[in-house]
Amino acid sequence: GAGVSQSPSNKVTEKGKDVELRCDPISGHTALYWYRQSLGQGLEFLIYFQGNSAPDKSGLPSDRFSAERTGGSVSTLTIQRTQQEDSAVYLCASSLVYRRNTEAFFGQGTRLTVV
Amino acid sequence: AQTVTQSQPEMSVQEAETVTLSCTYDTSESDYYLFWYKQPPSRQMILVIRQEAYKQQNATENRFSVNFQKAAKSFSLKISDSQLGDAAMYFCAYRSLYSGAGSYQLTFGKGTKLSVIP
């Protein structure tokens, strides 16, 4: 596609339920990032995928969070047993890596509300 | 690990005037990239301008320019002739150029909310 696509745009879930957030990166982009943006806050790094390399999971806040990237393209961020503090906007970005001046292109995010 | 600090949570500017947003960062690396991203209410992060650390010349994109002071680890954004459409959150970001786990992640500041007064 022309840009990074995220779905759903908004998600309301009950505390304790599992949720899956999807990201379709720009075709050909080998790097994919997930960030979390809490209300009025900056972007908190969650996880980074680069090609077939092992992902950098250093930003995942707990073992309730996991992510996978299938076929080097689509990525799914899964939050198990959601808590109210998980409410935030989850942003996905993709980029080329092997260009020095590469920028990250962002999707419009998924707003997750845990009630 | 790198850190990025934006010390101005909110700023305002009169339409057609100039405003400067501040950003400082901490790193032990000598080569890296710095970015300013704009986030309007639509949530879409949009790249405004980028700066390569090894270039001494400050980057410029139309009404947007930066003041890059490498020794001081400062990277401020100047918006000239401010327009109503410039109202948004602005984020400063750092990107390493070295390989290794986690090194390609973008590290963001907490952002500055810019209001433009008609």
Nearest to A97 among B44, B104, B106 (CB): B104
Q: Whose structure tokens read 């209300």?
A: A39
* Mutation for testing the B interface, residue in A10, A95, A103, A108 having most B CBs under 10 Å: A103
Return the CA Rg of chain A: 14
Contact at CB, B43 and A89, closer than 8 angstroms: yes
Q: Which residues contact B115 (CB under 8 A, 6 or more apart)?
A: B10, B11, B12, B13, B87
Q: Whose structure tokens read 């500055």?
A: B112
Contact at CB, B105 and A41, closer than 8 angstroms: no
Residues A80-91: tens digit of each pLDDT: 999 999 999 999
- Which pLDDT belongs to residue B43? 87
Q: Does A99 touch chain B (CB under 8 A)?
A: no
Q: Span B88-117, mean pLDDT?
A: 84
Q: Span B47-69, mean pLDDT?
A: 92
Question: What residues in B contact A91, CB-CB < 8 Å?
Answer: 43, 45
Mean pLDDT, all residues of chain B: 91
- Which pLDDT belongs to residue A67? 96
Q: Does A5 touch chain B (CB under 8 A)?
A: no
Contact at CB, A89 and B50, closer than 8 angstroms: no
Residues A36-89: tens digit of each pLDDT: 999 877 899 999 998 888 888 989 999 999 999 988 799 999 999 999 999 999
The structure tokens listed for B40 are: 């309007």
| CA–CA separation, A58 and A69 (whole Å) | 16
pLDDT at B15 over 90: yes
SS3 content of chain B, % helix, strand, coil (to 5): 5, 50, 45
Q: Which is higher by pLDDT, B90 or B1? A: B90
**Alpha-carbon torsion (A56, A59, A64, A68), positive or negative:** negative
